[in-house]
């Protein structure tokens, strides 16, 4: 069971370091645990978690190893910092920053080429779900990732129904399970659920046969909340 905490644009270096020093002394059950801080907090986070089993991943990665791409960070740069992997294609990147299936695929390929683990995100909007297009949307997104990643040992997919991110709404375990099962017909890799995961629903979601962990947003910003999710998922 893999539990990843996506801190989004929260926690500068000082706060990230303090958080990680508390997290390393917390009971996290027997889950694999990853935290994903903002770029500026990566060095402090890597240092604070050195010598632990808690991995550190970035929230995005560019497809080029270097170049005139102002504001972007490359996979070799992340490797030099000691970062384990990267989230790619998060719905907020797609929604607010123009990420496309093609650009997500390029980022996936670049990260894997540098032996970074990848959490590649897919998911449908509320309008797409209501129109009965969930599987078509997922298939389109997944096929782009699959073509970019013929070798998949370091690839994980995160299913994040966009209508359940930051809204307090969570896909029912049955809805999440159905989506995860469909994803695995296209990509045979671990699949995390991401969409308002909290301490009180973590165990029920983790108990579904095709859910292999969680990509946690807001509930990963407090140590006890995140640690509780890890412990609850471990009990399954």
The whole-angstrom separation of Cα 216 and Cα 195 is 7
pLDDT tens per residue across span 137-178:
999 999 999 999 998 999 999 999 988 777 777 789 999 999
The whole-angstrom separation of Cα 29 and Cα 225 is 13
Domain that holds residue 54: 2-234
Query: What is the pTM for the complete model shown?
Result: 0.96
pLDDT tens per residue across span 75-114:
999 999 999 999 999 999 999 999 999 999 999 999 999 9
pLDDT (0 to 100) of residue 196: 87
Per the structure, how many domains does the chain have?
1
At 183 the three-state DSSP class reads: helix
Catalytic residue flag (residue 90):
yes
The whole-angstrom separation of Cα 211 and Cα 158 is 10
Question: Which is the catalytic residue, given 124, 160, 180, 232?
Answer: 160
pLDDT (0 to 100) of residue 171: 83
Question: Which is the catalytic residue, given 90, 99, 124, 232?
Answer: 90
We report the CATH number of the domain holding residue 9 as 3.20.20.70
Catalytic residue flag (residue 99):
no
Given pLDDT bands bounded at 50, 70 and 90, which one contains residue 73? very high
pLDDT tens per residue across span 183-234:
999 999 999 999 889 999 999 999 999 999 999 999 999 999 999 999 999 9
The whole-angstrom separation of Cα 145 and Cα 155 is 10
- Counting every residue written for the chain, the total comes to 236
């Amino acid at each position: 069971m893999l539990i990843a905490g996506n801190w989004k644009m929260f926690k500068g270096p000082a706060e990230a370091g303090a958080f990680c020093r508390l997290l390393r002394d917390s009971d996290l059950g027997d889950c694999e645990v990853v935290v994903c801080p903002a770029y500026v907090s990566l060095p402090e986070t890597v240092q604070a978690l050195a010598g632990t089993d808690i991995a550190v991943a970035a929230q995005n990665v560019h497809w080029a190893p270097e170049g005139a791409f102002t504001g972007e960070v490359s996979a070799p740069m992340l490797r030099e910092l000691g970062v384990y992997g990267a989230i790619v294609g998060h719905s907020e990147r797609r929604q607010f920053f123009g990420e496309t299936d093609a650009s997500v695929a390029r980022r996936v390929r670049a990260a894997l080429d540098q032996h970074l683990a990848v959490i590649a995100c897919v998911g449908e909007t509320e309008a797409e779900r209501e129109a009965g297009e969930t599987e078509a949307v997922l298939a389109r997104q997944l096929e782009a990732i699959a073509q970019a990643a013929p070798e998949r040992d370091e690839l994980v997919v995160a299913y994040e129904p966009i209508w359940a991110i930051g809204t307090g709404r969570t896909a029912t375990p049955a809805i999440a399970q159905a989506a995860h099962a469909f994803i695995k017909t296209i990509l045979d890799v671990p699949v995390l659920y991401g969409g308002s995961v909290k301490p009180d629903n973590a165990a029920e979601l983790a108990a579904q046969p095709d859910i292999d962990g969680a990509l946690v947003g807001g509930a990963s910003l407090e140590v006890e909340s995140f640690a509780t999710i890890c412990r609850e998922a471990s009990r399954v």
